Amino acid sequence: MLQSQLFTKTRKEVPSEEVSRNAKLLIKAGFVDKLQAGVYTYLPLGLRVLEKIANIIRDEMNRAGGQEILMPSLHPKENWEKTDRWNTMDDLYKIVDSSKKEFALGPTHEEIVVPLAKQFIASYRDLPMYVYQIQNKFRMELRSKSGVLRGREFLMKDFYSFHADEEDLDRHYEVMITAYKNIFKRVGLGDITHLTFASGGSFSKYSHEFQTVTGAGEDTIHICDSCSTAINEEIIAEQKECPECGGKKLKTEKAIEVGNTFKLKNKFSDPFGLAYKDSEGKDHPVIMGCYGIGLGRLMGAIVEVLADKAGIVWPASVAPFAAHVVEVKSAESANVAMAAQEIYGMLSREGFDTLYDDRNVNAGEKFADADLIGIPTRVVVSEKSIRAGGVEMKGRTELAGMIVQKEKLIDLLSKNTNQ
């Protein structure tokens, strides 16, 4: 991608109303645009990151047996009345069309997926079954805040599992927890994202959350010193030691909930009559689990946690581009431009998604933008680098680059990308 052709530009200053680190950086660098509080457009750079995250999640969800579907956002009122959430869910968006018909904008999809599953699940032979989607959710937050961390419209992966009994749900629940751990590891937040015990609501003793430690978080968690499992503040009164290993040394941190897992059991299958026949022809309710991850929130958390003074620092796994080629022009710049184009062409042919800064601006501005955008590897092509025998390669967080011959560039980049 030629940077001169990129739809967005970086900004020198961000709107003064933005306070949160993720919003400031994502807006300044041109990843997102705020339409209204808690509602964001994902621009080309931001969408690339979101897609990278989505593909990692897809990969893990598919491994866990999930089949991807896409359900609608516009929901009939009747479905929400069946579970009584039309009246009890405070943050449900309700809309009325010109014929006075009422709808809900989906904040979650149990009310849709359960009747859907009813069409296909009738026998013990149909279980277990797993479906998921990555789709926009709507929740009427009275107070959206913290940039992309808490929105009113936001992209979420929701996975639903259907089981014959609780034992099978428990078995799969562990599969999902492992998958979630893989996801957070793969997006670069493994070390600071903790499996957290949280309140389970009326139908289960605990639910679990995945909480990423950051000062920008709105939850308080207590992390076990010995096994790194955590307990949400909301249940600390009843649970004073680590439920996983019994450890008593707990460290208190602020954290943001990036994922959650719930054992729904028969809470939603009952109102919709989702049941199956066992081998003797007897009816049983289908037992369910649901598992969510907020993609935009995850992206925001990565920015919050990894950015430095100069800008965003993307892990290679979710970076919008693998390499950022920066052409530094000079008086006799024809050969620099040619060399830069050659490097760009070579990287592209070798399959590296590359952003090529071909703009006619000063070197300082290009470097500042490169740091701000946060692509993992910067490749400078200049009079200076050519004289030194190649290009200058520098990792985003490294202080100084090194000159490498262009023949070696591919090898070195491959290492960076695979780590």
Partner RNA sequence: CGGGGUGUGGUGUAACGGCUAACAUGCCUGCUUUGGGAGCAGGUGACUCCGGGUUCGAAUCCCGGCACCCCGACCA
Chain residues binding RNA by CB under 7 A are 9-20, 28, 34, 36-38, 90-91, 108, 139, 141-146, 158, 201-202, 207, 218-219, 260, 262, 290, 292, 310, 328-331, 333, 360-365, 367-372, 380, 382-385, 392, 394, 401
**Least distance in angstroms from the C-beta of 299 to RNA:** 17
- For residue 360, what are its two tokens? 């006619």
Those residues with Cβ within 8 angstroms of residue 377's Cβ, 6 or more apart along the chain or in another chain: 322, 323, 324, 393, 394, 395, 396, 413, 416
Whose CA is closest to 56, among 194, 186, 154? 186
Q: Which residues are registered as beta bridge partners of 195?
A: 210
Q: Give the shortest CB-290-to-RNA separation in angstroms.
A: 5
Closer to RNA by Cβ: residue 124 or 367: 367
* CB 71, min distance to RNA, A: 14
Between 180 and 262, name the residue whose CB sits nearer to RNA: 262
User: With respect to RNA, which residue has the nearer C-beta, 144 or 317?
Assistant: 144
Which CB atom, from 225 or from 365, has the smaller least distance to RNA? 365
> What DSSP character marks residue 416?
H
Residue 363 Cβ, how far from RNA at the closest point, in Å?
3
Task: Pick between residue 52 and residue 160 the one whose CB is nearest to RNA.
Answer: 160
Quick one: three-class SS letters along the chain? Answer: CEHHHCCCCCCCCCCCCCCCHHHHHHHHCCCEEEEECCEEEECHHHHHHHHHHHHHHHHHHHHCCCEECCCCCEEEHHHHHHCCHHHHCCCCEEEECCCCCEEEECCCCHHHHHHHHHCCCCEHHHCCEEEEEEEEEECCCCCCECHHHECCEEEEEEEEEEECCHHHHHHHHHHHHHHHHHHHHHCCCHHHEEEEEEECCCCCCEEEEEEEECCCCCEEEEEECCCCCEEEHHHCCCCCCCCCCCCCCEEEEEEEEEEEEEEEECCCHHHHCCEEECCCCCEEECEEEEEEEEHHHHHHHHHHHHCECCECCCCCCCCCCCEEEEEECCCCCHHHHHHHHHHHHHHHHCCCCEEEECCCCCHHHHHHHHHHHCCCEEEEEEHHHHHCCCEEEEECCCCCCEEECHHHHHHHHHHHHHC
Whose Cβ is closer to RNA: residue 25's or residue 127's?
A: 25
Considering the complex, what minimum distance in angstroms separates the CB of residue 246 from RNA?
A: 26
User: Which CB, 3 or 317, lies closer to RNA?
Assistant: 3
Tell me whether residue 305 or residue 317 sits nearer to RNA (CB atom). 305
Q: How far is the CB of 57 from RNA (least distance, A)?
A: 16
Nearer residue to RNA within complex by CB, 145 or 277: 145
Q: How far is the CB of 198 from RNA (least distance, A)?
A: 8
Q: Which is nearer to RNA, 226 or 397 (CB)?
A: 397
User: Shortest distance, CB of residue 125 to RNA, whole angstroms?
Assistant: 28
Q: How far is the CB of 235 from RNA (least distance, A)?
A: 12
- Which class for 364: exposed (0-12), middle (13-18), buried (19 or more C-beta within 10 A)? exposed
Token look-up 């968006």 returns 93
Q: Which two tokens stand for residue 106?
A: 């989906």
Judged by beta carbon, residue 27 or residue 52, the one nearer RNA is 27
